[in-house]
Amino acid sequence: MDDVTDTVFRRMVHATAPADLYFTEFVNVDGLQSVGRPKLLKKVRFTETEGPLVIQLWGKNPENFRKTAEQVADGSLARELGLPEGVNFAGVDLNMGCPAKSEVKNGTCSALIKNRPLALEIINATKAGLAGQLPISVKTRVGFNEVDMTWIEFLLEQKLNMLTIHGRTKKQMSKVPANWELIGEGVKLRDRISPDTIIVGNGDVMSHEHGLELAQKYGLDGLMIGRGIFQDPYAFAPQSPWADIDRETRINLYKQHVTLFAAQWQDGERPIHTLNKFCKVYISDFDGAKELREVLMAAESAQQLIDTLNEALALQSA
Ligand SMILES: Cc1cc2nc3c(=O)[nH]c(=O)nc-3n(C[C@H](O)[C@H](O)[C@H](O)COP(=O)(O)O)c2cc1C
């Protein structure tokens, strides 16, 4: 998730209740293959301690997809990020689902649902860049303005290694509940068109149990959790202990997150207020949480955050 699932948050999740697979924030290939590249690298930074990680790409120019895919597949992007030989991304995912106005206006992401020739060119260019060395996947929605399962059929005809289906149209944004019947229909299409493609369902999954129930009901191979992680940092655990986790542990978890953030983003690559969206994840559901959050969200440095968290912890043990 853009501006959310950076290397720091992934490390927190992986150490708390690991997922099987992670995705980077989406990164624009046209920007990556331009002078703007250094600024975009923050979106794809990772460490060896995060579990398998797929890089998610978006953009317009097929040639830039090809070049980027090649740099991922041959490991040169990972080396550029400072990772040792032998450590690499686990695959490449293409974003064909983001409904944001600027991306759609630009003819990218979910706009590709109504531009199959370009979607095909992008998929083929990415495959050419990967040269079979890493898997390719697409994440998409079930239509643009209306449900259109021929789009899912079209994607399956491309024999992708994995297809993630978010059960809403672009027009629906996140305003209606995800339609899991349509995701289930995607599984049936897969069985007929491309039996080797792994199907992942996405939309409103809040916990491991909830995901498992849906996976069994609809015959899915995998489940993707997005916003659920904001409700529960243990969303990937088979049985989340989050509801019983005490104030001190919650404060300590946030302190750990802030400490990792300060160490990772030392040169201001990410502003401190980026942390505010995580504050509510940890600093919640205990007496005084709201008041503590207000102070934390006004902080102007990582040190100020750590000091406030230490004071809150001292108050507890006093
Ligand atoms: C803040 C935010 C950022 C997101 N960024 C991305 C992104 O970079 N790539 C992507 O494929 N989906 C992105 N999404 C969409 C989610 O991955 C997911 O498809 C959507 O939220 C529905 O699933 P959920 O109900 O589990 O959150 C983002 C969603 C949110 C709320």
Note the pLDDT tens digit of each residue in 273-304. 999 999 999 999 999 999 999 999 999 999 99
Does 1 reside within a domain? Answer: no
Does 127 reside within a domain? Answer: yes
Residue nearest to ligand 1 atom 14, measured at CA:
1
> What does the buried/exposed string (b/e) look like for 142-177 if buried means 16 or more CB atoms within 10 Å of the residue's CB?
bbbeebbeebbebbbebebbbbbbbbbbbebeeeee
pLDDT of residue 317: 63
pLDDT of residue 39: 95
Residue nearest to ligand 1 atom 6, measured at CA:
1
Length of the chain: 318
In whole angstroms, give the CA distance from residue 58 to residue 60.
Answer: 7
Q: What is the pTM of this model?
A: 0.97
In whole angstroms, give the CA distance from residue 27 to residue 46.
Answer: 14
Residues known to be catalytic: 98
CB 35 within 8 A of CB 74: no
Residues 207 and 265 in one domain: no
In whole angstroms, give the CA distance from residue 150 to residue 154.
Answer: 6
Total count of domains within the chain:
2
Does 192 reside within a domain? Answer: yes
Distances (CA, A) of 74 to 4, 52, 79: 27, 17, 10
Ligand 1 closest atom vs CA 202: 23
Residues 119 and 19 in one domain: yes
Domain of 255 in residue numbering reads as 242-317
Residues 206 and 254 in one domain: no
CA max distance for the chain: 66
Å from CA of 227 to ligand 1 middle: 7
Does 75 reside within a domain? Answer: yes
- Is the per-residue pLDDT at 61 higher than 80? yes
CB 190 within 8 A of CB 163: yes
CB of 28 within 6 A of ligand 1: the answer is no
Predicted confidence band at 19 (pLDDT cuts at 50, 70, 90)? Answer: very high
Residues 149 and 248 in one domain: no
Q: Where are the beta strands (DSSP E) in the chain?
A: 22-28, 53-58, 91-96, 136-141, 162-166, 198-202, 222-224
Q: Which of 231, 256, 283 is the last residue of a domain?
A: 231
Å from CA of 1 to ligand 1 middle: 5
Q: How many CB atoms lie within 10 A of CB 74?
A: 16
CB of 142 within 6 A of ligand 1: the answer is no
CB of 100 within 6 A of ligand 1: the answer is no
More confident residue, 266 or 80: 80
pLDDT of residue 267: 82
Mutate to test the pocket of ligand 1, among 227, 276, 278 (most ligand atoms within 8 A of CB): 227
Ligand 1 closest atom vs CA 205: 26
167's tokens = 């059960």
Residues 105 and 197 in one domain: yes
Residues 304 and 276 in one domain: yes
Distances (CA, A) of 291 to 98, 283, 318: 35, 10, 19
Q: What is the mean pLDDT of the chain?
A: 97
Å from CA of 158 to ligand 1 middle: 24
Predicted confidence band at 318 (pLDDT cuts at 50, 70, 90)? Answer: low
Residue nearest to ligand 1 atom 16, measured at CA:
226
CB of 205 within 6 A of ligand 1: the answer is yes
pLDDT of residue 311: 97
Residues 201 and 276 in one domain: no
CB of 25 within 6 A of ligand 1: the answer is yes
Predicted confidence band at 15 (pLDDT cuts at 50, 70, 90)? Answer: very high
**Mean pLDDT, range 229-253, rounded to an integer:** 96
